[in-house]
């Protein structure tokens, strides 16, 4: 039987203030946030059997560079002797978190935008502090591991649309909200499935709850193929977007001792029905719709045989010379499989893998 541990920590550091990532327009003006609407976290799920261990790390950020992820994995290897193939690092892709890379360099002709250059030193300081935080949270998660039973279910909810539309003249267009291109035909595929794993902690005579009173009783791990862009370019507050609301709603509904962890699905061409909004009620609507879909589906969960952990990884070479290699990884939790791709996959990729 596997053992499971969990821990989380804030990734908002009081002495560092950075512009918001996600929309190019924020880099042509003062993109500094005006406040914090809801918190951002790093969440770590630590799993082990008698022979190996795995780490699932989720961060409420828009993007991390390949080089930085590799650097973090090397630091984890040095600190805990966990191989890179045994680690999955996933960002939620919220478009209301701090900037971490110069994602708009190509748009600006290969030169970093002025606002990015102005904050480059602070970004480096943030990333250094973030790496230290990740390493510390992993330590707590590993220390809290307990025997757990695992179950699986699939929720289903159509909460968005494929943004790659066709105009009347036959040309393709990206439609980032339903009101933006009302004349476009938006009939592309959308992944409605929300695969969900539930880890329920079991009694362990070696575990002392007095020493670890914050340890969760159950952990809900779920994946949604929907861009976290409910809040738009005019939003000036920090937010985890709908994934934050979904996690909070699951935890509140199932009660004390519950932790929820979001992983991003194949959402490269999928927008929420309520996208690029300025009204904060919108993230409640989408986030709670996700959460209640997951909660309802958990009633139909099935046990997963978790006799051992296994993993595999590979670098996929690009088909075009100007593209970068893409990391592909698989973490196996007995019969359950978590696949990861270091890219923003379109919805069709989910059907290609799952079907």
Both tokens assigned to 232: 């738009």
Contact of 300 with 252, CB cutoff 8 Å? no
pLDDT in the model for residue 107: 47
What's the confidence (pLDDT) of residue 353? 85
C-beta atoms surrounding 321 within 10 Å:
5
Q: What is the DSSP string of 94-162?
A: -TTSB--S-TTTTTTTTS--HHHHHTHHHHHHHHHHHHHHHHHHHHHHHHT-EEEEEEEEEEE---EEE
Residue written as token pair 């973490």 = 331
CA atoms of 178 and 237, how far apart (whole Å)? 23
pLDDT at 84: 94
Strand partners, 261: 221
pLDDT at 78: 98
| pLDDT for residue 284 | 98
* Both structure tokens of 266: 């194949």
Residue 297 main-chain phi, psi, to 5 deg: -70, -30
The DSSP secondary structure of 221-286, one letter per residue, reads EEEE-S-S-SB-TT--EE--HHHHHHHHHHHHHH-TTEEEEEEE-S-TTEEESS-SBS-THHHHHH
**What tokens were used for 134?**
């990740």
**Block mean pLDDT (10 aa), the chain, length 355:** 94 92 71 91 97 97 94 98 96 95 57 67 95 98 93 96 84 82 81 97 74 78 97 92 99 96 96 92 98 98 91 86 84 93 91 83
């Amino acid at each position: 039987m596997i053992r499971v541990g969990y821990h989380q920590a804030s990734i908002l550091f009081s002495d560092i203030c950075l512009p918001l990532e996600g929309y190019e327009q924020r880099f042509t003006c003062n993109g500094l946030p005006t406040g914090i609407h809801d918190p951002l976290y790093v969440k770590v799920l630590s799993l082990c059997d008698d022979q190996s261990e795995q780490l699932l790390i989720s961060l409420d950020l828009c993007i991390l560079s390949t080089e930085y992820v590799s650097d973090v994995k090397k630091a984890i290897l040095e600190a805990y002797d966990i191989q890179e193939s045994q680690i999955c690092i996933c960002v939620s892709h919220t478009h209301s978190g701090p900037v971490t890379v110069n994602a708009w360099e190509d748009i600006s002709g290969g030169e970093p935008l002025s606002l990015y250059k102005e904050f480059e030193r602070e970004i480096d300081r943030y990333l250094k502090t973030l790496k230290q935080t990740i390493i510390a949270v992993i330590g707590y998660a590993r220390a809290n591991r307990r025997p757990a039973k695992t179950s699986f279910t699939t929720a289903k909810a159509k909460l968005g649309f494929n943004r790659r539309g066709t105009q009347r003249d036959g040309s393709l267009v990206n439609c980032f909200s339903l009101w933006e291109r009302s004349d476009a035909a938006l009939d592309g595929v959308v992944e409605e499935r929300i695969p969900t794993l539930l880890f329920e902690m079991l009694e362990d005579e070696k575990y002392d709850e007095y020493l670890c009173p914050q340890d969760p009783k159950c952990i809900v791990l779920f994946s949604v193929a929907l861009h976290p862009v409910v809040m738009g370019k005019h939003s000036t507050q920090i937010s985890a977007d709908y994934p934050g609301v979904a996690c909070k709603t699951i935890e509140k509904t199932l009660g004390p001792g519950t932790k929820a962890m979001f992983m991003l699905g194949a959402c490269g061409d999928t927008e929420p029905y309520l996208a690029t909004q300025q009204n904060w009620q919108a993230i409640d609507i989408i986030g709670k719709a996700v959460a209640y879909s997951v909660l309802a589906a958990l009633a139909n969960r099935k046990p997963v045989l978790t006799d051992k952990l296994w993993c595999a990884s590979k670098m996929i070479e690009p088909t075009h010379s100007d593209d970068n290699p893409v990391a592909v990884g698989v973490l196996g939790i007995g019969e359950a499989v978590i696949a990861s791709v270091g890219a923003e996959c379109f919805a069709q990729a989910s059907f290609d893998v799952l079907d």
